[in-house]
Structure 1
């Protein structure tokens, strides 16, 4: 039996024309999506894709399976919609809180799946700077929210009445301008190798910046912050332009719109945990459904 997640991957590649663009749409890394497609090919017993310099195209077997895949996914969406009418998801509103990275890379695929299954539910998304979204959940301003916490870092108190459920943990990685000497290797880079490097960093109060600088100091690597920015997108753009190097969450490095070099660090102690926050024991059917979609998506997502 074919896994619907892999069928959805095939449809996404057919529509996007490349594995990289399809991965962005689905919230995967390109290698993780390639693994899913390889498993689908083993299930099918035939090559489904041909990769070329512009992207990927489907083989005759891939085109045949594509027609069936769309029918299967449409039937599953119809089943979800019909079940939703039985569980009170034929209307109403779902208010979601998020932070920038999750709102760009993680939330859209889950909301897209939710919208296909429950088109009558009105959706709204509000962006916060963590941990503000947990307060918004506690006050009833949003129904659930994505938030994050850095490890090592200061523990963030969870407001009364709010439930926090981890979804995934990602490493922080080094990003450099393309061709930079520090990104040339394939193995992990010792933190001490960053000594003397100009650093592009977040604002001084950002918990990631404090965690990164503490880890560098412990490794004996003194760095000079050359430039500060409140957002990872700008940090990555400045690094790409040669302003310095930076340590950012992996999904920001992989999904950056500007070209970057990337290197994993040793020890791999700098991490960020992304969680979903919701009200304890009083979730709406819509909020509970989106929580389940988020957990399901990350449970299926292979390690990058």
Structure 2
């Protein structure tokens, strides 16, 4: 068993992860600027330290052992955390006073967090904003572990030690090319949308969940032509008239591409509710409080959120 004096080397873990990613000790050595024997030694030393094999070789090449697979998320966090510290130290050495770490839905970051930060720059000229663009339960883990100061999420589930403050909500809309035959319509129904080539976002996202609801209530399945994970990619493909898709209103507003039409759904869907996730044990800085106050003001001005409270 490891003792506190047997701390895991970030360098060894980085070598292991690079070998796994490239499926090659030689290529990992080239990427990391080391020799192949050095990479092999790092992996061997790490395996000896932990007491079991991490990599196994089969017909398909290198892969993680069962023990290595169970440790993979933690090993990745170790390397990512080290890289984040190095980046923050570099920023602080250049005169940064504070780095505010935020996880947010990408569209909310573009529509609200960016403008809020810009408005506060005269008061906090030496502060830096660090945004991680995610919208999943990973946000809760990051808040709880103090890896971020606060999160903006649409998937909050009551959890011990976490607080949720609603900020705004938005509904579903269809985005499609202005060249699409349906672009002149004032509203669209489920049957209109599901009869067309569809650009699909993953299950578990707001767009994916809405699509599942539309399919269930109409009895129709989407004609998926492309699957994407990034909002901007989906909107750009719709702009090119490859297909249409369903996104939240704030997401559509954050991607005002020329040649892209935004049309409401005739039959509504449950709105997406966005809010701030914080830890009840976290002590907010003056800069963080100023950003949150600015966000509250901006979202209240954009829509009435009284019904959320």
In structure 2, what is the equivalent of residue 139 of structure 1?
A: 145
Q: Does 1:248 align with 2:242?
A: no
Give how far 1:122 is off.
4.1
In structure 1, what is the equivalent of residue 107 of structure 2?
A: 101
Cα gap change, 1:140/1:166 in structure 2, threshold over 3 Å: closer, same or farther? same
What does 1:230-245 correspond to in 2, within 5 Å? 230-245=229-244
In structure 1, what is the equivalent of residue 59 of structure 2?
A: none
Give how far 1:243 is off.
1.3
SS in 2 for 1:275: strand
In structure 2, what is the equivalent of residue 4 of structure 1?
A: none
Q: How many angstroms apart in 2 are the aligned matches of 1:226 and 1:167?
A: 34
What does 1:4-43 correspond to in 2, within 5 Å? none
Give how far 1:207 is off.
4.6
Contact 1:253 1:260 survives alignment (8 Å): no
After TM superposition, which residue ranges in structure 1, 4 or more long, deviate above 6 angstroms? Answer: none
Aligned length: 207
SS in 1 for 2:282: coil
Contact 2:139 2:153 survives alignment (8 Å): yes
Cα gap change, 1:120/1:189 in structure 2, threshold over 3 Å: closer, same or farther? same
Cα gap change, 1:129/1:168 in structure 2, threshold over 3 Å: closer, same or farther? closer
TM-score by length of 1: 0.61
In structure 1, what is the equivalent of residue 302 of structure 2?
A: 301
Unmatched 5+ stretches in structure 2: 1-95, 305-309
Q: How many angstroms apart in 2 are the aligned matches of 1:288 and 1:104?
A: 19
Give how far 1:178 is off.
1.1
Q: 1:166-202, CA deviations, whole angstroms, 9 ceiling, x for partnerless residues?
A: 111111101111132222122x322232242111011
Cα gap change, 1:224/1:122 in structure 2, threshold over 3 Å: closer, same or farther? closer
In structure 2, what is the equivalent of residue 211 of structure 1?
A: 210
In structure 1, what is the equivalent of residue 124 of structure 2?
A: 118
In structure 2, what is the equivalent of residue 12 of structure 1?
A: none
Q: 1:203-234, CA deviations, whole angstroms, 9 ceiling, x for partnerless residues?
A: 24535313312223312433211110011111
Q: How many angstroms apart in 2 are the aligned matches of 1:161 and 1:114?
A: 29
Q: How many angstroms apart in 2 are the aligned matches of 1:93 and 1:237?
A: 32
Q: Does 1:226 align with 2:225?
A: yes
TM-score by length of 2: 0.60
Q: How many angstroms apart in 1 are the aligned matches of 2:130 and 2:222?
A: 41
The structure with the larger Rg is: 2
Contact 2:200 2:224 survives alignment (8 Å): yes
Give how far 1:244 is off.
1.1
What does 1:2-81 correspond to in 2, within 5 Å? none
Cα gap change, 1:175/1:207 in structure 2, threshold over 3 Å: closer, same or farther? closer
Cα gap change, 1:142/1:281 in structure 2, threshold over 3 Å: closer, same or farther? same
Cα gap change, 1:268/1:214 in structure 2, threshold over 3 Å: closer, same or farther? closer
What does 1:128-277 correspond to in 2, within 5 Å? 128-149=134-155, 156-186=156-186, 188-256=187-255, 257-277=257-277
Cα gap change, 1:200/1:122 in structure 2, threshold over 3 Å: closer, same or farther? closer
In structure 1, what is the equivalent of residue 91 of structure 2?
A: none
Unmatched 5+ stretches in structure 1: 1-89, 150-155
What does 1:279-298 correspond to in 2, within 5 Å? 279-280=279-280, 282-285=282-285, 286-298=287-299
Q: How many angstroms apart in 2 are the aligned matches of 1:238 and 1:227?
A: 9
Q: 1:121-172, CA deviations, whole angstroms, 9 ceiling, x for partnerless residues?
A: 44333333423222211110111121223xxxxxx43442121111111111
In structure 2, what is the equivalent of residue 278 of structure 1?
A: 278
